Structure 1
Amino acid sequence: MMMNASGSGASRTQNQGGDISDIFTSLTGEAAADLPPCFSDLKKTIWNEDMLQSWKEVLEELKVAVEEVASRTQDMILRVSYDNIKQGLSESQVASIKKMGTVIVTGGVPQEEALGWKQSIRDYVAANKDCMRGFPADNIQVFELYNVPALVAACTHPALVNTQKALLSLWHASDPTSLNRIDMSTPMLYFNRLWIRLPGDAQFALGPHIDGGGLEHWEDPGLRKVFAHILCRTADKTWRDHDPFDMTPRLDAKQDLYNVSNQCSIFRPWQGWTALSSTGPGEGTLRVLPMLSLATVYLMLRPFFRPRHSSSASLKFGDWEPDTEGTAFPGSAMRKTQELNPTTHPHLALEQTMVSMPRVEPGNQVYC
């Protein structure tokens, strides 16, 4: 389930249907295609010499952040109770959520109610098995179901709505006039597909990725404004001033330039899911990279640098050089979401820093 903010938006052509594999290169096994020459031109347009200093600073800070995440693992993920939500989050809780970019909320939905939703979904699938669509087609685990009764019940549950209001309140507008265009106090329900993963499944295993556009992060001038302090430092603003919770620059951003099936075009302040089973680390649950701002800065700078020697595995600043001639935007492909792996984004040490969610029970909410 996604949580969205109410605001104005440009009209767009309705995209074609599909399934989740349409936007993940890793699910289809297709080789990454070279991008056309215009993407080299795009790099040259964005590039400035100050990026070198930003790159150097980010690599140094990543060393410390990687060590912290690798040592603390699940302890990096904040868990709050629904009572905390109702009473108001503390300053330290808000700071943790904004730094890590994720939170677990317990106690809002009774286990019995959540398990009832799960059984309702199973009954619905069984009754309509001849017309079910999803992925993988021969053994569906991601169902293209969006507004079945259980989903409606969950999305309108007071605990979920109140939690979403609390999380929406963490956003702000650097330009107060933005509030004339968007209402951050009213959650909009976005019915997402249903997932029921099977024990031991290896076929449907999404790797590290970022929703909300791929190449659009650099290609769309509006979306690029979100990362202005990262891409162009000034005398008084650097990448450290990047604010991922500022809604103002996001209002004119286009996250889908290619009208791709399964790609969302609206502003989604949070994504979330409600557990319908007991699931813990190593059991197919969600994994996250709990260093929101720092990882974002690295991601945005990464296309502009490459190893000095293609065979080198060194992560040292001196062993990397600017790259504005090549067309590569690592992990990015046209009409696809942004994916990451140890080869495309080596400094993130993803094998150590992608942290499995701590154990959740039916009715727990997870947001990121």
Structure 2
Amino acid sequence: MSPQPSSSSSFTAPHAGAITDVAGIEVGHFSDPRRPTGCTVILARDGAVAGVDVRGAAPGTRETDLLAPGNFVQQVHAVMLAGGSAWGLAAAEGAMRWLEERGIGLDVRFGTLPIVPAAVLFDLPLGDARIRPDAAAGYAACEAASKAAPAEGNVGAGSGALVGKLFGLDRAMKGGIGTASVTVKGVTVGALIACNALGDVLDPDTAQVVAGARTEDGRALLDTRRALLRGELPQPLLAGTNTTLGVIATDAVLTKVQANRLASVAHDGLARAINPVHTMSDGDTLFALATGRVPLEGDAPGMTVLGTMAAEVVARATLRAVQAARTVRIGASVFPSASELG
């Protein structure tokens, strides 16, 4: 059965920073009107030095090996985040076509080859699982891309995201996509996070659960961490049916080694905002992009400060992903948002 239509699928709030505050970054969403799924592209038309760190045990990715520091390719031109599990990786093909039509990519003599790493999350339980992002969806996301602060909530790769599934899908809540940024001494770091976590989402400043597994009556938050430590047993899980994806971007000049390190340290932000995180049923993957507009000279932040900034924006963007989410109803199933449960 199709989800009930809603005019409040995305969220607008006072500006708290966005990944598009980083010079050289654009974001575009495609949200499929037939069921809650979609994709989100992060464009770097002029190229960006990139790194990646995969911490979840059940990832669905493409073109991540080339981001290793010792490998040839130095820059990427877009990153695609998508729903649809492994089928959703096809969305990257649409981004490649869109970029190639504009002459953006790596000159390989016989053509211009756009470099588009991608990662996917599992959103198949919501509606008809045969509907998932494809190349046309990826192309449409690129067409929608802009430098404006991207919509948050039930849009793009966050359209079908759920959180708090450890005690059964019927006790889960709506996840989504969120963004944040910080600037220190002229250097900006931003993040975009699509949160489809197995665990709960916490406010990183208070450690209070904001969204996640609900009590048996569905009316309150359970607190998964405490429930597990009390000895409550989770339901059997299908591996890979979760995953939080994200991109961290900075305008700093970084090497591939530094970009990979930034992606690694940024996972600290996920650990502050999700519990449990990096599980056997999550494919948690973070990319890092450096557009190279600001040299790290003089009193500019070094890697320690950049890492702190990256973890902070990842934690904030993860929180905003569930704060921005809106309740979804599919047949008899209801996946409430944090704002409605509270």
**Higher Cα Rg: structure 1 or 2?**
1
TM-score, normalization by structure 1: 0.23
RCO higher in structure (CA 8 A, sep ≥6): 1
Please identify which structure carries the higher strand content.
2
TM-score, normalization by structure 2: 0.24
Please identify which structure carries the higher helix content.
1
